Structure 1
Amino acid sequence: MDGLRKGGDSEEVEIDLGDSSDPEEFDNEEQPEVLWKAPPDWEQEERSHLSSVVDISDTKPLLNGRDPRGMNDCLKVTFEDVIAEPVSVRSGDRVWIWSHALFEVSRVWVYRIITVLLAIPMSIISGILFAHLSCIHIWMISPFIKYILIGTIWLQNLWNVVLDVIVRPLLTSAGQCCGRFNIHVAEE
Structure 2
Amino acid sequence: MAEQQQEVDLDRRDPNNLNESSQVAFEDVLGEPETVHSIDCVWTNSYKCFTCGKNCCYKFMSTLCGICIALYWGCEFAMITFEMVWCCTPALKVHTIMLGVCQRFLGTCIQCCLAPLCETIGLCFGNITINKK
Give your verdict on TM over 0.5: yes
For residues 39 and 105 of structure 2, the distance between their equivalents in structure 1, rounded to whole angstroms, comes to 79
- Identity, % of aligned positions: 28
Amino acid at match of 1:141: C
Tell me the number of residue pairs that the alignment of Structure 1 and Structure 2 aligns: 106
For residues 58 and 159 of structure 1, the distance between their equivalents in structure 2, rounded to whole angstroms, comes to 52
For residues 36 and 47 of structure 2, the distance between their equivalents in structure 1, rounded to whole angstroms, comes to 17
Q: TM-score, normalised by structure 2?
A: 0.71
Cα deviation, 1:54-102, whole Å, max 9, x if unaligned, reads xx94342121221111111111211111000112221100000100011
Structure 2 match to 1:60: 7
- Confirm whether residue 72 of structure 1 aligns to residue 19 of structure 2: yes
Amino acid at match of 1:81: D
Structure 2 match to 1:138: 85
Higher relative contact order (CA 8 A, sep 6+): 2
For residues 139 and 72 of structure 1, the distance between their equivalents in structure 2, rounded to whole angstroms, comes to 32
Structure 2 residues without counterparts, runs of 5 or longer: 109-133
RMSD (Å) for aligned C-alpha atoms? 2.2
Structure 2 match to 1:86: 33
For residues 12 and 103 of structure 2, the distance between their equivalents in structure 1, rounded to whole angstroms, comes to 46
Structure 1 match to 2:115: none
Alignment of 1:28-177 (within 5 A): 57-157=4-104
Q: TM-score, normalised by structure 1?
A: 0.51
Amino acid at match of 2:35: S
Q: CA separation of 1:155/1:108 partners in 2, compared to 1, >3 Å: closer, same or farther?
A: same
- Specify the SS of the correspondent of 1:94: helix
Higher helix share: 2
